[in-house]
Amino acid sequence: MTHINDTTTLTAAGIAASVRSGETTAVASVQRHLDAIAASEADVHAFNLVLADDALSRAAEIDAAVAEGQDPGPLAGVTVALKDNMCTRGIPTTCSSKILGDWRPPYDATVVTLLRDAGAVVVGKTNLDEFAMGSSTENSAFGPTRNPHDTTRVPGGSSGGSAAAVAAGFASVSLGSDTGGSIRQPAALCGTVGVKPTYGAVSRLGLIAFGSSLDQIGPFAHTVDDAALVLEAISGHDPGDSTSIEQPPLDLRSTLAQGVEGLRVGRITDLPAGASPDVQGRVDEAFDALAAAGATIVDVEVPAFGYGLTAYYLIAPAEASSNLARFDGVRFGTRVSAPDTNQMYMATRTEGFGAEVKRRIMLGTYALSAGYYDAYYGRAQKIRRLIANDFAAAYAQADVLLTPASPTVAFELGDKSSDPLAMYLCDTYTIPSNLAGDPAMSVPFGTGDGGLPIGVQLLAPALADATMFRAAAALERHAAQNGVSS
């Protein structure tokens, strides 16, 4: 079954412009999206929590501000869905895990504050693979999210709820977090734009950590311009996040229309195999489209790319094993009573965490253990440096790189849920950017098997987000003007 509501034809930029000019109201914009939710959410299950009343009253405030001649900001009246691992003051934040219970954060994540300050309206908290660990949004304590293009299929993950919310038209834009591809892969599977910005471009304060050195928040949107609009609003230095880069918000939209004349687009000749023919076909067409728009295609090598997955599955679980240790039943969330402290920890964590989270905590604990550190975590860190060096060398020859985002189109629910390794392979093409800290994004580019969306991935060196967006806009224009095969 398909659930693509007519709200998907509205852009965030368009809504904001008409709300700011008084042509339409924020309440109307919000109500349209709430109607779409009412029509399709029962089948899609994009949300853990829909904040209908909050959203309508916030929208009314925005309309009142406009009526008084104030400017509510660049996202005035734009509906936004938040992945449920971003803290919202007084509103349950679950990470799709039982362990958080009914915990309500006493603070908003920096991105939430920035979105609200820009006039956006939060319509709900979206489903995810528990603690962002997964590629299908099936690892949720609250049940899976389904792909709005075909509800027998997964939306990808871990930000599957946020991807599905935009794809179904439940919100104009949404935020996800990307630790190894958790924005780009579901964006590809749901046919939306999805961006993982440069590490440090967007504050992580208030994002419940999975792999702190890899996690980055980014937008889902219908268009490249909308993604840029949101990213401009949420990026910039945050003194509350020590890894936040000390620079002003990203400037993306001013160069979007510049085209790719003279831009060097790299084709990674030693990219790991694994992309299905339909996906590979769209990637090849994307190279042709950029060449036709004036870009130069260059061959580059990134020899360590293929080791990314292995290194990632040591580094991310290692950090996760430490990040998730605070869920101990002592100060917040679920507590299962037991005769003594150690048994309470064990009972709480046994009850509170799902199987995939436990698997990764064990993997990570092992990788950091005395006697194994050098062989696992230490070696993974060396690979991480190699990957960063290889990318740097490739970027001496190319301005951006182009690869598949996901190896396949959306797969069916249950397909990979009993085979963790097959699931991990979904992130083959997305993981290396997280290890390098570089920006990358998925752009919808035609469809593949079963008429399902395909996304191609653009990669760029750190802080070259604007260049990446310029290439993405060129692909989007090509798809709109010339169409893409399906």
Part of the chain binding another protein (CB under 8 A), chosen from 315-323, 403-411, 442-450, 454-462: 315-323
The single residue among 57, 341, 482, 485 that binds another protein, judged by CB under 8 A, is 341
The verdict on 202 binding another protein (CB under 8 A) reads: no
How are beta strands 453-459 and 440-447 bridged, if at all? antiparallel
The verdict on 309 binding another protein (CB under 8 A) reads: no
The verdict on 287 binding another protein (CB under 8 A) reads: no
The verdict on 87 binding another protein (CB under 8 A) reads: yes
The verdict on 325 binding another protein (CB under 8 A) reads: yes
The single residue among 42, 273, 370, 396 that binds another protein, judged by CB under 8 A, is 370
The single residue among 345, 376, 395, 469 that binds another protein, judged by CB under 8 A, is 345
Judging by beta carbons within 10 Å of its beta carbon (0-12, 13-18, 19+), is residue 179 exposed, middle or buried? Answer: buried
In sequence order, the 6+-apart residues with CB closer than 8 A to the CB of 393 are 300
The verdict on 205 binding another protein (CB under 8 A) reads: yes
Amino acid, res. 324:
L
In sequence order, the 6+-apart residues with CB closer than 8 A to the CB of 135 are 129, 156, 157, 158, 181, 182, 185, 416, 423, 424, 426, 427
**DSSP string spanning 254-310?**
GGGGG--TT-EEEEETTPPS---HHHHHHHHHHHHHHHHTTPEEEEE--GGGGGHHH
Considering the complex, state which of residue 212 and residue 276 has its C-beta at the smaller distance from another protein.
Answer: 212
The verdict on 102 binding another protein (CB under 8 A) reads: no
321: annotated active-site residue: no
Part of the chain binding another protein (CB under 8 A), chosen from 211-219, 285-293, 383-391, 416-424: 211-219
The verdict on 103 binding another protein (CB under 8 A) reads: yes
Q: How many CB atoms lie within 10 A of CB 287?
A: 16
**Set 18, 29, 40, 83: catalytic member:** 83
**Set 18, 29, 97, 158: catalytic member:** 158
Part of the chain binding another protein (CB under 8 A), chosen from 73-81, 142-150, 299-307, 365-373: 365-373
125: annotated active-site residue: no
Amino acid, res. 217:
I
Region of 412 on the Ramachandran plot (φ > 0 left; ψ -120 to 50 alpha; else beta): beta
The verdict on 368 binding another protein (CB under 8 A) reads: yes
Task: Give the Cα separation of 60 and 228 in Å (integer).
Answer: 26
Beta carbon of residue 206, minimum distance to another protein (angstroms, whole number): 4
Part of the chain binding another protein (CB under 8 A), chosen from 8-16, 41-49, 323-331, 405-413: 323-331
Helices and strands (DSSP H and E) totals, the chain:
15, 11
In sequence order, the 6+-apart residues with CB closer than 8 A to the CB of 237 are 244, 245, 246, 247, 248
Task: Give the Cα separation of 185 and 112 in Å (integer).
Answer: 23
**DSSP string spanning 101-128?**
TT---SS--HHHHHHHHTT-EEEEEE--
The verdict on 322 binding another protein (CB under 8 A) reads: yes
Task: Give the Cα separation of 190 and 176 in Å (integer).
Answer: 13
Kindly write out the interface string for residues 159-188 of this chain, putting x where it contacts another protein by CB under 8 A and - elsewhere.
------------------------------
CB distance 132 to 88 below 8 Å = no
The verdict on 241 binding another protein (CB under 8 A) reads: yes
182: annotated active-site residue: yes
Residues belonging to the active site: 83, 158, 182
Q: Which residues bind another protein (CB under 8 A)?
A: 86-87, 93, 95, 100, 103, 105-107, 109, 204-209, 211-213, 239-243, 318-319, 321-322, 325-328, 330-332, 340-342, 345, 365, 368-370, 373, 377-378
